[in-house]
Chain A
């Protein structure tokens, strides 16, 4: 098997293992230094965090799984390339000796290149969630190996860098991470641009209850692709961008009646952190620009997490909602416009501002 993504000759040896992961920012998961150490030590085993598991062999990543990511089996069967029966048979025949992937190719069920492509897609998809910020402590089980077997191992540094790149990409498209975890609510707007094909499939499954991760699973697409599609849809105004989550979060009705609020609903994510589509509720439009500072303040800012993590940091402590989307979790990111705490705080803020 080749040494994964080529281009750079291995992680920076001289600078030391941690440095090869790139500078470790405060928002980075605790998993990263551990991953760096394991990679430097050419470890083999399973590194588990809250977001899922990374499987290492000889210090390189050979597989990844996450509850948020649909996984290789779903990707293959949704594409119509491998019937469920074929997968099952491969697992039965080759699972015990941990060579299911090789068996799929050798038994003529899948092309080698296509397996590599799909497996890498699934690997990076799951790894994104495993390496999400706020992942908490991780556990390493030396020697543990997955029954799929190695396909095309990837350097750990590459996986870390790619996860970071993905977070930055999400933030660049639409810096509102609550879109990742909230139930997806459609918006009709006559001014919104046409919906591109792939995003149309995502939009069609938005029923006000399903989250991004659930939609990805139904479509048989990698979860990250759907996160990205939703950010684009939100930026274009086709889906609601809920408020950043507050501690009083409760399931609320989709944001109010006004169909075309004055806030920009064209695709202009740059610098529009305060502006979001969807009317603010009883605090109403005049207070909107200043009003948005308050929710950000009391919500223990989504700011640092706007690098695209799957939820604001304080979500980790509130009601057990993890820092990555989970299908069974109560909806995050929607606040009741009539929330009394919010209303009180707004009144306090208004009173303070009146004194300035």
Chain B
């Protein structure tokens, strides 16, 4: 039931929380922000976070170890990661002719499959930065960002709480 603003407000209630945002990383669009951005400018922050999210989501290193098969069936998902994507990508209108040969490596999960990454945690001298992918919404195109100051922030607590908050976005 809770919307974007409620989710952000709850995130800010965490000890040490300095700022939070909901970002559609596929386009770089900022959907909502609260608190202060780490570098003083949310638009720049959003663009940088979008790049980070994109690299994590698209990088084959964080997904399946094997490239996808030529017939479009995705390779097995990563252990402990998201449940496997639908076979053959599963998106409507899948073309009859997949590209011949495995000359191009797939990212994990096959085309259109779920994002293999759940969250990113980044620690600096002064802060913790968390980026959580919103599963099952817009095909994993959205992340929720939270940053805490190092002194008061508790990374483990924040990670679990953020996980729950993000799941709550889709709750009915």
Q: Are A117 and B142 in contact (CB under 8 A)?
A: yes
Q: Are A6 and B58 in contact (CB under 8 A)?
A: no
Q: Are B95 and A204 in contact (CB under 8 A)?
A: yes
* Residues 64-113 of B contacting A (Cβ, < 8 Å): 68, 72, 89, 91-95, 98-99, 103-113
A152 to B30, CA, bound (A): 13
A195 contacts the other chain (Cβ, under 8 Å)? yes
Q: Chain B residues near A196: list those with CB within 8 A.
A: 58-59, 107
Q: Are A225 and B141 in contact (CB under 8 A)?
A: yes
B123 contacts the other chain (Cβ, under 8 Å)? no
Q: Chain B residues near A203: list those with CB within 8 A.
A: 99
Q: Are A81 and B141 in contact (CB under 8 A)?
A: no
B170 contacts the other chain (Cβ, under 8 Å)? yes
* Residues 120-143 of B contacting A (Cβ, < 8 Å): 134, 136-139, 141-142
A212 to B170, CA, bound (A): 29
Q: Are B28 and A169 in contact (CB under 8 A)?
A: yes
Choose among B60, B95, B169, B172 the residue that contacts A117 (Cβ–Cβ < 8 A): B169
Q: Chain B residues near A198: list those with CB within 8 A.
A: 26, 57-58, 107, 111-112, 139
A124 to B27, CA, bound (A): 10
Known: A162-B29, A200-B106. A221 touches B139 (CB 8 A): yes
Known: A200-B111, A219-B112. A118 touches B137 (CB 8 A): yes
A98 contacts the other chain (Cβ, under 8 Å)? no
Q: Are A195 and B104 in contact (CB under 8 A)?
A: yes
Q: Are B72 and A197 in contact (CB under 8 A)?
A: no
A25 contacts the other chain (Cβ, under 8 Å)? no
Choose among B4, B89, B92, B142 the residue that contacts A204 (Cβ–Cβ < 8 A): B89
B5 contacts the other chain (Cβ, under 8 Å)? yes
Of listed B4, B27, B72, residue having the most chain A CB within 10 A: B27
Of the four ranges (under 10, 10 to 19, 20 to 34, 35 or more), the interface on chain B belongs to 35 or more
A108 contacts the other chain (Cβ, under 8 Å)? yes
Least CB distance, B139 to chain A, in whole angstroms: 6
A220 to B165, CA, bound (A): 26
Interface majority SS (helix, strand, loop, mixed), chain B: loop
A208 to B156, CA, bound (A): 49
A116 to B169, CA, bound (A): 9
Q: Chain A residues near B104: list those with CB within 8 A.
A: 192, 194-195, 200, 238
B24 contacts the other chain (Cβ, under 8 Å)? yes
Residues 27-50 of B, flagged 1 when their CB comes within 8 A of A and 0 if not, give 111111110000000110000000
A228 contacts the other chain (Cβ, under 8 Å)? yes
A188 contacts the other chain (Cβ, under 8 Å)? yes
Q: Are A108 and B22 in contact (CB under 8 A)?
A: no
Q: Chain A residues near B106: list those with CB within 8 A.
A: 194-195, 197, 200
A105 contacts the other chain (Cβ, under 8 Å)? yes
B17 contacts the other chain (Cβ, under 8 Å)? no
Q: Are A197 and B111 in contact (CB under 8 A)?
A: yes
Least CB distance, A168 to chain B, in whole angstroms: 10
B11 contacts the other chain (Cβ, under 8 Å)? no
Known: A6-B34, A117-B22, A121-B29. A204 touches B2 (CB 8 A): no
Q: Which residue of B lies closest to A75 (CB)?
A: B138
A200 to B57, CA, bound (A): 13
B7 contacts the other chain (Cβ, under 8 Å)? yes
Q: Are B141 and A113 in contact (CB under 8 A)?
A: no
Least CB distance, B132 to chain A, in whole angstroms: 13
A162 to B27, CA, bound (A): 10
A227 to B57, CA, bound (A): 18
Q: Are A194 and B105 in contact (CB under 8 A)?
A: yes
Choose among A80, A117, A162, A225 the residue that contacts B134 (Cβ–Cβ < 8 A): A117
Q: Are B91 and A2 in contact (CB under 8 A)?
A: no
Q: Chain A residues near B33: list those with CB within 8 A.
A: 5-7
A5 to B63, CA, bound (A): 33
A275 contacts the other chain (Cβ, under 8 Å)? no
Q: Are B109 and A79 in contact (CB under 8 A)?
A: no
Q: Are B139 and A113 in contact (CB under 8 A)?
A: no
Q: Are A6 and B32 in contact (CB under 8 A)?
A: yes
Q: Chain B residues near A192: list those with CB within 8 A.
A: 104
A2-B5, A112-B1, A224-B27 known; 10 other A-B pairs, CB under 8 Å? Answer: A78-B91, A78-B139, A110-B172, A113-B169, A118-B138, A120-B24, A165-B28, A166-B27, A194-B107, A197-B108
Chain B interface residues toward A at CB < 8 A: 1-7, 22, 24, 26-34, 42-43, 57-60, 63, 68, 72, 89, 91-95, 98-99, 103-113, 134, 136-139, 141-142, 168-172
Q: Which 8 A-B pairs have the closest CB atoms?
A: A113-B169, A197-B107, A196-B58, A201-B111, A218-B93, A194-B105, A111-B170, A200-B111
